[in-house]
Structure formats: C-alpha cells, structure tokens
Structure 1
C-alpha cells in the first residue's frame, strides 16, 4: 500500500514532466484499495487516477 501511495504522489507531482503529453492536471479519483490477486493470492493495491491532457 505504501508503494502505491508513493506512486500516486509522484505521478500527481510530476505529471507535467511526462514526455509526449501536455498534462493540465492529474489527481487521484479514488482512495487506494487493498485487495488480493485472484491468480497468485498475493496482496495488491490499486486506485483510479484522473489525468487531463491536451491533445496535440
């Protein structure tokens, strides 16, 4: 879960620096959700992020 939260914060902070995209804003759309992968049985975490960008 901590890795997901760090990834969310990094993406939110650095979205404007993604090459090939002109990002206007990026923000989490949901809280992180902790689940178990059905194939491997390992824990995983995920969330939805909203990324608004300008088309070229």
Structure 2
C-alpha cells in the first residue's frame, strides 16, 4: 500500500492517536512493516484538481 502524507510526523501522530486503538480493538497483533520515502513526483490526471 502506498499513502501520501505531508510529513512523516503526521503519519506517526495519526497512528498513535487514532489507528492504534482501532487495530488493538480488532484483535490485530504484530507491527506493520513501514517505510518512508520522499515523494519525487506526483501525477494528477487531467480534469482532477489533486485536492481532497
């Protein structure tokens, strides 16, 4: 899975504040394998603003 965030700290905060509790309550064990890489290029299809 690939996800684009503004900063690594934002991802870490989201996991700690929101996702970790949901994962725990779902009974999922273990740690995900994560890797952070800078975004070098972003493609936005014609007619799409790229803004959520």
- TM-score bin, normalised by smaller chain: 0.3 to 0.5
**Quick check: which one's helix share is greater?**
2
Give the strand-richer structure, 1 or 2.
1
User: Which has the higher Rg, Structure 1 or Structure 2?
Assistant: 2
Normalised by the length of structure 1, the TM-score is 0.36
Which gives a bigger RCO, structure 1 or 2 (Cα 8 Å, sep 6+)? 1
Instruction: Give TM-score, length-normalised by structure 2.
Output: 0.37
